[in-house]
Each structure stands twice: as structure tokens, then as C-alpha cells.
């Protein structure tokens, strides 16, 4: 089903128009993909409703096709559920980890310590889990493994005492991380315990740790903990074990706190700074969500980047990757418009006469080309000459395009290369192009 959403989006970007039928289909596929990834029904409905309303009511901005605009809306609405995009600040601080049993608090404490160490900050761990039998030993061992100071009082049953003493002991350590107890389920006992701990520790961050595979109960749990101690950020663990994560995401949407990290394994290095694009692409099985969005980024090419592409263009050594690079930089609506305004009869690389209608075509072509090129091997991209019919067949299959489209890309490449040969050393042309940026 996730792949059917990808199919739908491809179909949209490749189609010549968007009608209400297309919108319906897209909305339904988005909804299915969300539910399949355990996103709760309420959230999925709300999101798809917004999506449908916007798709029907809003008009694409100048220079953007309605197909691309629909994809943009999908993307924006999806990003909304991820919430605020903020990072854990690298400063001396106290961090308290909270969450239920087995969510990955203790492991994440070690991973965070390693993370801060790598950023050049000293970090220490405080064992305030007095519930689990071997919690002290587990954190002690993790601290040794990472090579950071550890504080705990073996046998002590009052976690407030441990935290007080620990913060004092680790006074000169920049980042102090407190590992706390969980419970099997949310209960009064846990809530009052973490409330007390929060009061004594006055943490800068209260990080809620939750397992990506968690189901529908995650929302109410997160809300209750948030009400008790004020969750400032989230770590979603065990992303390595699932392509889903929708349950965790639904929980996060309830508390409106940023996701800072995701855990991707049992090792201390398996911690990634959260990337909303990546998370969503994975959740929805949209390998190329980010790629699709690149087409919408406003042009902000620096002079040097433009210079570099142009030199490559002019050098005569010119492969498919270079072509893509050129297309990407120059086939953007704003640049092409500028070119059209000043050079009505100019030829863009590729040999197409520029005409306002071509902007749309170029944008569509670009996304199709990217998809095709993603299915080519590095060797093929570097030496397009080796791409024979058999390879064309494979690439078309792999990219979900047609052989005709792959051949068109190759033809375009060859034409461009021939044109460049002719223009090689033509300073006037280079200057002309450069001046358009
Ligand atoms: P706590 O009870 O919340 O402190 O959870 P633990 O840190 O003890 O973790 C529970 C189990 O999950 C342990 O076996 C960990 O190795 C494992 N774990 C934690 N984070 C991850 C992760 O990101 N990926 C995987 N695969 N396992 C994890
Ligand atoms: Mg633990």
C-alpha cells in the first residue's frame, strides 16, 4: 500500500492535469498509507481532510504546475504532524529521560552521552531507576562502555536522594543525564515519582523516550506524562525494527513537542538526529519525497556553484550526472523566466527553444529524469555510452518508467553533449548563461 502512494504521486507528477478524481485518489492513498503505518485514525482523517480542502481551494503559485503543487501540499500537510522542527541545544544542561519500561531510556542515556562527547562536551550519567532490579548495573556498564562518569547509589530506594547527590557529584560535568524508572503501564506512582524528580533536578530538558512500534495507547500515555512533567522533546527508539512509527508519531502529535532523535539499533552509535523528511519518507514508503520537493526549493545557487557547473559544461567531459546538475540549476522557473525575458530566442542546453510553456515541461521532465537516473548504476551515470537496450530495459523496470522515457533521456543527453562540443570555448555563451543568474 505504501508503494501505491508512491505510484500515485508519480502518476500525479507525470500526468498532464489534476482533476477532482486525481485529488480523491491521492487523498485516499495518503490515508491508507498513514493508517497502515499505525497513525491513529483521528490524525489520519484530520490530515487528509486538510489535504483535500487545500487541494481543491488553493491555486498553484506562478511558475508551478498544478501537479507539483498537489505534491507540495501533500508534503506540507504531512510535515505538520511532525510538528516543530527544533534540535537539542548543545549547552551545559541537565537532561531527564522519562518513559515506560523497555522503551529504551537507559540505552538512549548512553547514546546521548556519546553524542555529547562527540560534540566535545563532557557528560555524566545518573542512575535514578530504583525500580528495575539491575538498573544500576545496566547504566554503570553503559557508562563504562561509552567512557563517561557514572553516579548511582546501590540499594538506595529514594530516587530524589540519588539525583541530588548525583548532580552535586557531577558538578563539573557539562551535561548531566538522569535515567529514571519506568512502569509496565502508566500509574499514579510513576507520575508522582517523576514529578518529584523534576522538582529536585530542574532539568533543562525532559525527554520522553518511546518505542517506534508502540500502538494506539501511546497518545494518552504521552499526554499524561506531558501534563505531569512537561515533555520538552522526544526520542523515538527502535526505528531499525519497523518501517512504521505511526503510533509514536500520533503520540507526538498529542503533545506538540519536537522529536530530537531516533534510535536505530542497540549500539551506542545508533542514534540519529531526527530528520522529518526522512522519517516521513520511510513511514509512507516514499523513497523520493525529498527529491520531489527539491523541485520547489527557490533558486539560491551561489555564483561559485553556477561557475562550477558551467565549467563542467564547457570542459567537454560531460556525463549524465553533469547533465542532471545543469538541468537542476538552470531548469528552475525563476532562472528560465529571466532567460526568456532577455533571450527570447536563446537555446537552453538540450537544444530546446525556450518558450514559457517549456518551463512546465522542463520541471516535469526533471522529476522523471531523476527517477530514471536513480535506477542507473554509478558506472552508467559516469559512462552513459555503455547503456544498451538490455540496460535500458532494466532501468525502465527499476524506475517504473517506460523504455521510451529512458531513451528520451539518453537522446537528450547526447544532443546536449553534441551542442556543448560545438559551443566549447565559446566565451560569449558562457557569459550569457552566467549573467542570467
Ligand atoms: P528502558 O527500560 O526504557 O530503560 O529501556 P532499555 O534502554 O533498557 O531498552 C530496552 C531494550 O530495547 C534493550 O534490549 C535495548 O537494547 C533495546 N533498545 C533500545 N533502543 C533501541 C533501538 O533504537 N533499537 C533497537 N533495536 N533496540 C533498542
Ligand atoms: Mg532503564
Domain 93-266 class in CATH: alpha beta
Q: Summarize the confidence of residues 3-28 as an average pLDDT.
A: 77
Which residue ranges make up each domain of the chain? Answer: 2-81, 93-266, 303-435
Is this prediction's pTM over 0.80? no
Q: Decide: 405 in ligand 1 pocket, CB within 6 A.
A: no
| Model confidence at 143: pLDDT above 80 | yes
Q: How high is the pLDDT of residue 376?
A: 85
3-state SS, residue 241: helix
Question: 233 and 264 in contact (C-beta within 8 Å)?
Answer: no
Q: Decide: 103 in ligand 1 pocket, CB within 6 A.
A: yes
Q: Decide: 240 in ligand 1 pocket, CB within 6 A.
A: yes
Please give the annotated binding residues for GTP, written as ranges.
99-106, 179-183, 237-240
> Residue-wise over 272-288: b if at least 16 C-beta within 10 A, else e?
bebebbebbbbbbbbeb
What would the grid cell of residue 239 be?
526505528
Q: How high is the pLDDT of residue 246?
A: 85
| Model confidence at 154: pLDDT above 80 | yes
Q: Please report where in the chains the cell 530542574 appears, as a residue.
A: 202
- Cα dihedral angle (58, 40, 207, 227), rounded to 10 degrees? 100
Q: How many helices (H) and strands (E) does the chain have?
A: 20, 8
| Residue of 73 and 11 predicted with greater confidence | 73
Question: What's the burial of 155, exposed, middle or buried (CB within 10 Å: 0-12/13-18/19+)?
Answer: exposed
Question: What's the burial of 263, exposed, middle or buried (CB within 10 Å: 0-12/13-18/19+)?
Answer: buried
| Model confidence at 212: pLDDT above 60 | yes
Q: Which fold has domain 2-81?
A: 1.20.120
Q: Summarize the confidence of residues 23-52 as an average pLDDT.
A: 86
Give strand pairing partners of 151: 126
55-69, 248-262, 308-322, 362-376: range with highest mean pLDDT: 248-262
Residue 124's contacts (CB-CB under 8 Å, 6 or more residues apart) are 113, 143, 148, 149, 150, 151, 166, 170, 173, 175, 176, 177
Query: How far is 434 from 427, CA to CA, in rounded Å?
Result: 10
Q: How high is the pLDDT of residue 41?
A: 86
Shortest-distance atom of ligand 1 to CA 270: 23
Lowest mean pLDDT among 52-61, 97-106, 408-417: 408-417
* Residue 345, CA atoms < 13 Å, CB-side half-sphere: 0
Please give the annotated binding residues, written as ranges.
99-106, 179-183, 237-240
Q: How high is the pLDDT of residue 351?
A: 39
Task: For residue range 326-363, list pLDDT tens digits in order.
Answer: 666 665 555 555 444 433 233 344 433 445 555 566 66
Lowest mean pLDDT among 67-76, 182-191, 339-348, 412-421: 339-348
Average pLDDT, the chain: 81
Q: How high is the pLDDT of residue 315?
A: 63
Task: For residue range 281-325, list pLDDT tens digits in order.
Answer: 777 765 544 544 444 443 444 555 556 656 665 666 678 877 776
Residue 118 banded pLDDT, cuts 50, 70, 90: very high
Our mutation pick for probing the ligand 1 site, out of 266, 268, 271, 272, counting the most ligand atoms within 8 A of Cβ, is 266
| Model confidence at 183: pLDDT above 80 | yes
Query: How far is 292 from 369, CA to CA, in rounded Å?
Result: 11
DSSP string covering 298-349: PP---HHHHHHHHHHHHHS---HHHHHHHHHHHSSHHHHHHHHHH-TT-B-T
Q: How far is the CA of 290 from the centre of ligand 2 (A)?
A: 35
Lowest mean pLDDT among 25-39, 171-185, 251-265: 25-39
| Model confidence at 147: pLDDT above 80 | yes
Q: Summarize the confidence of residues 222-239 as an average pLDDT.
A: 94
The architecture of the domain spanning 303-435 is: Orthogonal Bundle (1.10)
Q: Please report where in the chains the cell 481532510 appears, as a residue.
A: 49
Shortest-distance atom of ligand 1 to CA 132: 2
Q: How far is the CA of 279 from the centre of ligand 2 (A)?
A: 25
Residue 112's contacts (CB-CB under 8 Å, 6 or more residues apart) are 95, 123, 175, 177, 261, 271
Amino acid at each position: 500500500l505504501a508503494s501505491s502512494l508512491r505510484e500515485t504521486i508519480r502518476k500525479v507528477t507525470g500526468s498532464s492535469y489534476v482533476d477532482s478524481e486525481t485529488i480523491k485518489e491521492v487523498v485516499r492513498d495518503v490515508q491508507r498509507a498513514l493508517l497502515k503505518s499505525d497513525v491513529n485514525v483521528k490524525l489520519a482523517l484530520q490530515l487528509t481532510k486538510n489535504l483535500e480542502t487545500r487541494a481543491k481551494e488553493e491555486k498553484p503559485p506562478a511558475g508551478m504546475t498544478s501537479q507539483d503543487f498537489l505534491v507540495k501540499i501533500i508534503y506540507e500537510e504531512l510535515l505538520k504532524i511532525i510538528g516543530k522542527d527544533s534540535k537539542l541545544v548543545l549547552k551545559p544542561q541537565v537532561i531527564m529521560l522519562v518513559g515506560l519500561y523497555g522503551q529504551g531510556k537507559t540505552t538512549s542515556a548512553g547514546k546521548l552521552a556519546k553524542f555529547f562527547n562527540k560534540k566535545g562536551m563532557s557528560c555524566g550519567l545518573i542512575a535514578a531507576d530504583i525500580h528495575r532490579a539491575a538498573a544500576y548495573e545496566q547504566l554503570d556498564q553503559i557508562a563504562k562502555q561509552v567512557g563517561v562518569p557514572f553516579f548511582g547509589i546501590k540499594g538506595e530506594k529514594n530516587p530524589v536522594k540519588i539525583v541530588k547527590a548525583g548532580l552535586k557529584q557531577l558538578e563539573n560535568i557539562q551535561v548531566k543525564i538522569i535515567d529514571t524508572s519506568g512502569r509496565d503501564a502508566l500509574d499514579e506512582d510513576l507520575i508522582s515519582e517523576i514529578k518529584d524528580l523534576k522538582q529536585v533536578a530542574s532539568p533543562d530538558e525532559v525527554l520522553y523516550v518511546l518505542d517506534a512500534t508502540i500502538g494506539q495507547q501511546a497518545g494518552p500515555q504521552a499526554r499524561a506524562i506531558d501534563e505531569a512533567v512537561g515533555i520538552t522533546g522526544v526520542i523515538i527508539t527502535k526505528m531499525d525494527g519497523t518501517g512504521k512509527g505511526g503510533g509514536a508519531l500520533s503520540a507526538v502529535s498529542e503533545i506538540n513537542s519536537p522529536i530530537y532523535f531516533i534510535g536505530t539499533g542497540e549500539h551506542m552509535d545508533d542514534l540519529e538526529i531526527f530528520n522529518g523528511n526522512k522519517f516521513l519518507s520511510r513511514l509512507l514508503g516514499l523513497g523520493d519525497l525529498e527529491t520531489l520537493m527539491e523541485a520547489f526549493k527557490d533558486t539560491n545557487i551561489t555564483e561559485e556553484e553556477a561557475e562550477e557547473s558551467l565549467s563542467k559544461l564547457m570542459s567537454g567531459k560531460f556525463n549524465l550526472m553533469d547533465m542532471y546538475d545543469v538541468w537542476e540549476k538552470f531548469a528552475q522557473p525563476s532562472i528560465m523566466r529571466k532567460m526568456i525575458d532577455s533571450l527570447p530566442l536563446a537555446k537552453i542546453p538540450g537544444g530546446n527553444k525556450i518558450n514559457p510553456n517549456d518551463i512546465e515541461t522542463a520541471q516535469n521532465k526533471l522529476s522523471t529524469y531523476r527517477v530514471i537516473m536513480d535506477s542507473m548504476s554509478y558506472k552508467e551515470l559516469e559512462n552513459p555510452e555503455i547503456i544498451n537496450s538490455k540496460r535500458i530495459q532494466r532501468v525502465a523496470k527499476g524506475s517504473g518508467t517506460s523504455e521510451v522515457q529512458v531513451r528520451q533521456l539518453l537522446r537528450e543527453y547526447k544532443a546536449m553533449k553534441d551542442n556543448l562540443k560545438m559551443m566549447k570555448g565559446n566565451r560569449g555563451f558562457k557569459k550569457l548563461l552566467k549573467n542570467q543568474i
